[in-house]
Structure 1
Amino acid sequence: MSDARLSVFKTYKLFVGGKFPRSESGRVYEVADSKGNWLANAPLASRKDARDAVVAARKAFGGWAGATAYNRGQILYRIAEMLEGRREQFVREVAEAEGLSKSKAAAVVDAAIDRWVWYAGWTDKIGQIAGAANPVAGPYFNLSTTEPTGVVAVLAPQDSSFLGLVSVLAPVIATGNTAVVVTSEKSPLPALSLGEVLATSDLPGGVVNVLSGKAAEIGPHLAAHSDVNAIDLTGADAELATALETAAADNLKRVLRPRDEDWSADPGTDRLLTFLETKTVWHPIGV
């Protein structure tokens, strides 16, 4: 018997509604490593894929926002556990995507896993920072509490295929929002593999939806979509960000503009607070 085997190439797919569809258009595009060597064909998401992802995110929002913060933290920690188990795969994919040595890629992946754990710990604490009991002149309790904004479109960083992706995605879902993520165009494979982890980590289907392709093609549809409540423009260049911000203004979306980021730095609570709303209620004392 011959020892020769056929190579079994991995087929990367979108992650929408907890399932792994091919692009509705049937399109793919070639993904290469930092040296120009072919790695895989990735799905090239279309406008229809973006609409399907928004529908899935909206459907999942009520259950995810209504879950206890403690439960969301457990699920985020489970994601970190699953990533730890597939660490070598992500080290390889990050090394190929970003042209890093194995040791540097390992450090990036470890930092990304640690960041999931960090945000998991914040799920049931952020309300204590952003909420308040407000002093008022009268026999009333006046309480401010946090609520998630809703469906958030996230344009992932172009230059940090995994640590940057985790840094923008984890705080969105940690606070009860659901997400439609557009991956790095040139390095989508770690993000698409993350979808496989999310599918097996107790995260309800539709809470995170992952689309690979061109931000310039998918972004305008998400920015103009009336059922998307907010958009993170981190992965957009200056020209695209301006166009998307204009489109988002027509339907009053909350917008996070792109800025210089050091993904290895302590993230702080800024992104946790970005996609939260504050609800203030009055309640008579003694009732």
Structure 2
Amino acid sequence: MSDARLSVLKTYKLFVGGKFPRSESGRVYEVTDSQGKWLANAPLASRKDARDAVVAARKAFGGWSGATAYNRGQVLYRVAEMLEGRREQFVAEVADAEGRSGKKSDTAKAAAQVDAAIDRWVWYAGWSDKIAQIAGSANPVAGPYFNLSTPEPTGVVAVLAPQESSFLGLVSVLAPVIVTGNTAVVVASEKSPLPALSLAEVLATSDVPGGVVNVLSGRTGELVGPLAAHQDVNAIDLAGAYGELHGELAVAAEKAAADNLKRVLRPAEVDWAAAPGTDRMLSFLETKTVWHPIGI
């Protein structure tokens, strides 16, 4: 019997509502590494897929935003646990995606990114029940009242993942959105979507409720417009629209987002390896202020 065997070639799927559907159009595109070697087929999401993802995110919002902050932190920590178990797979995918394969030193750089991404899930998990302490306050007022301000999630957030940092950048924009109770529709890096699609497989086997995170892959230019104009999307992070190639796309998205007064986090140059801080969490929080009479 011959030892030769055919490789099992993979065609990825979208992640919408906790399930893995094919693109509504049935389209796929080839994903290659920096040397042009074929890696896998990724789904080419359509406008209909984007709308379906928003519906799924809205449906999941009530349960996720209503969960305790402590529970959300536990869920994010579980994602880190699952990623730790699949670390080698993600190191290989990041190395392929970002041209860091071959040399041991380059593979070590990919491993450092994956380790940083796993640590980032843990870091944000720790903030889940603490962010209210810096975003909320008891306000002094002239009168017999308590005046309390508390943070609340914005709602459904569309997230354009960074184009170049296919995994660490992705985690850095996704984790702060969901830890505060928002739900997300993520558009993966167009050039390097595989780490995002593999992360979807991890989320599906973690404790993340279906619909809290929805992952689309395909042409960023095709997907950002429908998401920016969608009336049921409450905010959009344009991290993946940074640079000359996507500059006009970001401007068009901002104009479309103004139609229903979406919160917009504009694209900027970011060192994804740097300490993240709290800015991205605070960007997608609303402030609810309550007046209550002081009892006698």
Q: Same fold (TM over 0.5)?
A: yes
**What's the secondary structure of 1:19's corresponding residue?**
coil
Structure 2 match to 1:139: 144
1:38 to partner: Cα distance:
1.0
List alignment gaps of at least 5 residues for structure 2: 101-105
**Which 4+ runs in 1 deviate beyond 4 A?**
none
Equivalent residue number for residue 195 of structure 1: 200
Task: Give CA deviations for 1:218-254 in whole Å, capped at 9, x if unaligned.
Answer: 0000000000000001101211000000000111111
**How far, CA to CA, are the matches of 1:63 and 1:266 in structure 2?**
30
1:8-19 correspondence to structure 2 within 5 Å: 8-19=8-19
Q: How does 1:12-91 map onto structure 2 within 5 Å?
A: 12-91=12-91
Residue among 256, 269, 272 paired with 1:263: 272
The alpha carbon displacement at 1:11 in A equals 2.2
Normalised to the residue count of structure 1, the TM-score between the two structures is 0.99
2:150 match: secondary structure? strand
Q: How many residues align?
A: 287
Tell me the CA shift for residue 57 of structure 1. Answer: 0.1
Q: How does 1:134-173 map to 2 (within 5 A)?
A: 134-173=139-178
Distance in structure 1 (CA, Å) of the matches to 2:222 and 2:59: 24
> How far did 1:286 drift?
1.1
1:217 to 210, 215, 222: 222
The aligned runs of 1:116-135 (5 Å cut-off) are 116-135=121-140
The amino acid of 1:34's aligned partner reads S
The residue that corresponds to 1:110 in the other structure is: 115
1:231 counterpart = 2:236: yes
Deviation at residue 35 of structure 1 after TM alignment: 1.2
Inter-partner Cα distance in structure 2 for 1:76 and 1:283 = 34
Q: Which amino acid in the other structure matches residue 214 of structure 1?
A: R
Cα distance in 1 for residues equivalent to 2:121 and 2:96:
22
Quote the residue 2:293 is aligned against: 284
Amino acid at match of 1:56: A
Contact 2:30–2:42, Cα closer than 8 Å, also in 1: yes
CA RMSD between the two structures:
0.7
Secondary structure of the residue that 1:250 maps to in structure 2? Answer: helix
Of all paired residues, the percent bearing the same amino acid is 84
2-side partners of 1:2 and 1:94: how far apart? 33
Q: CA deviation at 1:215?
A: 1.1
TM value normalised by structure 2 = 0.96
Q: Which amino acid aligns with 1:195?
A: A
Counterpart secondary structure, 2:186: strand
Partners of 1:51 and 1:262 in 2: how far apart? Answer: 31
Work out the CA distance in 1 between the residues paired with 2:58 and 2:131: 23
